[in-house]
Amino acid sequence: MKVLLVGNGGREHALARALVRTSNAEHPVQLSVQAGNPGLETLGDSFAFTATEPDEVLALAKAHGVELVVVGPEAPLVAGVADALIAAGIPCFGPTSDAARLEASKSFAKDVMAEAGVATARSFTCRNMNEVDTAFQELGAPHVVKDDALAAGKGVVVTHNVEEARAHAKSCLEREDGAVVIEDYLDGPEVSLFCLCDGTSVVPLVPAQDFKRAGDANSGPNTGGMGAYSPLPWLDEGVVEEVVRSVAQPTVNAMAKRNTPFVGLLYCGLAMTSRGIRVVEFNVRFGDPETQVVLERLDSPLVELLHAAATGTLDQVPAPQWSTDAAVTVVMASGGYPGPSDTGHEITGIDKAEAIPGIHVIQAGTSRKTVSPEGALVPAGSGPEAKEILVNSGGRVLNVVGRAATVQAARALAYEGVKQISFAGEHHRSDIATWPAELDLSVGSDLKN
């Protein structure tokens, strides 16, 4: 099957790797990818295009006889890429722009959850600072402040400091048509559950847990995610079935009733609270870095599942099959991340890390440049003495993934891989996937809405 993958970050590198790794004679994959990620470009034919321009994506898909387009990031979905493809009769894994509002607008998602009877935090949508202050007084601390619009995973502030909370709210409101959602704090560990949806049916993948704070012990600011692991040994098996029954399926049903059927990946961000399962947020695409560990455990062809979701036939394909192995990923980030990042430094040691059995490296924020023997930047093709090097070019640079029989063994592998790699300013958390041993093993065993 000819597949075009839109997006060129770490999530897309992981998706491409899974599409290729799980393909077989019955489900072959001929992959085209978006240029701009040196790791991703090795897995298919690469093309330069603007992901958020529906006409460009459609033209490329038509020109190459693409049979399935998989949209990785949320911005192209909000921009209407899926709408253009669907109108042209090309299957697309990803929701229309109307359905993508589940992520693009926190207040819209809250409305849908209310209609569907999905349990979530009590919240207020505010459009001025007087409303913000009233919400703070009503809900109390800790204050949870969420940008109503897309914020690349970094639009949330959780703090006891009311001035910090007010500052974030004010920055969100300063944007044209800005709005902010203030909501109750949800206690308990968080879980990410990806659900494939075809507008009617829901098929869950395996749960994962990611680590959002920049520093160890959940210190520092929120990030796009500093690491993840799967499976979750402490989570009761019945939780996945319960989330499908009480969260994902009702949401898909509600979207269908609105005449905006949801097709693609419904990311359910969940809190395992003392009062039961509560939705923290919805996203409309694979999460990053959870994708890196969830898809590493997939044994059945990913392309078959994604095509079935895009064509409304999820109920006609076999359920996904999973390895019993565990996977852990550790994010290596640039200096300064999640603030302004220090980029342009040479990355070394990826080959050494990948030489260790059970380790692979996903590239997220990398690029190539050509330098002279003295290290000066020169044009590509400058002669035999010049060399091409890999450099960091984004905030989150690499995902080092370890796979082994247990979470503990996979974690050890991931950190062994991290040791082999270096670039100036690099930082990472040292406590990814340590939570299972620290949590009460009964968590989730009696969680019902």
> What does R_g of the chain's alpha carbons equal in angstroms?
21
CB 213 within 8 A of CB 220: yes
- Res 438: pLDDT: 52
Domain of residue 132: give its range: 122-183
Co-location of 158 and 208 in the same domain: no
CB-based contacts of 427, cutoff 8 Å, min separation 6? 332, 333, 335, 337
What is the CATH number for 334? 3.90.600.10
Closest CA to 362 of 266, 256, 225, 194: 225
pLDDT at 431 over 80: yes
Of the candidates 316, 293, 292, the one whose C-alpha atom is nearest the C-alpha of residue 304 is 316
User: Which tokens go with 63?
Assistant: 């020109």
Q: Are residues 84 and 134 in the same domain?
A: no
Q: Phi, psi (5° rounding) for residue 433?
A: 65, 25
pTM to 2 decimals?
Answer: 0.90
Same-domain pairing of 222 and 130: no
Residue 404, CA atoms < 13 Å, CB-side half-sphere: 18
Q: Write down which residue in 311, 335, 358 finishes a domain.
A: 311
At 446, the pLDDT band (50, 70, 90 cuts) reads very low
436 pLDDT more than 60: no
Residue 115 included in any domain: no
| Residues 305 and 332 grouped into a single domain | no
Domain assignment of residue 442, yes or no? no
In this structure, are residues 136 and 124 in contact, taking their beta carbons and an 8 Å threshold? no
Q: Per-residue pLDDT for 444 more than 90?
A: no
Q: What are the beta bridge partners of residue 322?
A: 298
| CA dist., res. 121 & res. 42, Å (int) | 43
| Residue at 347 is within a domain | yes
What is the spatial distance between Cα 85 and Cα 412, in angstroms, rounded to a whole number?
43
Is 412 within a domain? Answer: yes
Task: Judge if 305 and 347 occupy the same domain.
Answer: no
Q: Does the residue 434 lie in any domain?
A: no
Mind listing the pLDDT tens digit for each residue in 94-129? Answer: 999 999 999 998 889 999 999 999 998 888 888 999
Domain containing 304 — which CATH number? 3.30.470.20
Asked if the model's pLDDT at residue 441 lies above 80, the reply is: no
* pLDDT tier, 154 (very low <50, low <70, confident <90, very high otherwise): low
Residue 379 clears pLDDT 70, i.e. is over it: yes
∠ at Cα 124 (121, 130), nearest 5°? 145
CB atoms within 10 A of CB 377: 12
Choosing from 140, 156, 183, the residue where a domain stops is 183
The model's pLDDT over 276-304, given as tens digits with 9 standing for 90+, comes to 899 999 999 999 999 999 999 999 999 99
The CATH number of the domain holding residue 23 is 3.40.50.20
Mean local confidence (pLDDT), 137-166? 81
pLDDT, tens digit, 9 for 90 and up, residues 309-322: 999 999 999 999 99
Across the strands, what pairs with 360?
401
Q: Sign of torsion, CA 331 334 336 338?
A: negative
pLDDT of residue 153: 54
- What pLDDT, on the 0 to 100 scale, is given for residue 369? 94
Question: Does residue 171 carry a pLDDT above 90?
Answer: no
Task: Say if residue 178 is in the same domain as residue 191.
Answer: no
Say what percent of the chain tops pLDDT 90: 74
Based on the fold, state whether residues 296 and 365 are members of the same structural domain: no
Question: 22 with 134, same domain?
Answer: no
H helix or E strand, kind and range, residue 267: strand 263-273
How many residues are there in the chain? 449
CA–CA distance, 13 with 69 (Å, rounded to integer):
15
Q: Do 163 and 216 lie in a common domain?
A: no
How many angstroms separate the CA atoms of 321 and 203, rounded?
Answer: 12
Helix H or strand E segment including 396: strand 396-404
Locate 425 and state its tokens.
């300013």
| 106 is a domain residue | no
Question: Residue 372's pLDDT is what?
Answer: 85
Do 235 and 289 lie in one domain? The reply is: yes
Tell whether 213 is covered by a domain.
yes
Are 347 and 391 found together in one domain? yes
Position 15 pLDDT exceeds 70: yes
Mean residue pLDDT across the chain: 92
Helices 162-173, 129-139: axis angle to 10 degrees equals 140
The span from the CA of 21 to the CA of 40, in Å, is 13
Core vs surface per residue 236-261: b (16+ CB within 10 A) or e: beebbebbbebbbbbbbbbbeeeebb
Q: What is the pLDDT of residue 107?
A: 87
191 and 175 in a common domain: no
What distances in angstroms separate CA 230 from CA 238, 303, 328, 437, one per listed residue? 16, 21, 7, 14
> How many structural domains are present in the chain?
4
**Average pLDDT value for residue range 258-270:** 97
Q: Is the pLDDT of residue 10 over 60?
A: yes
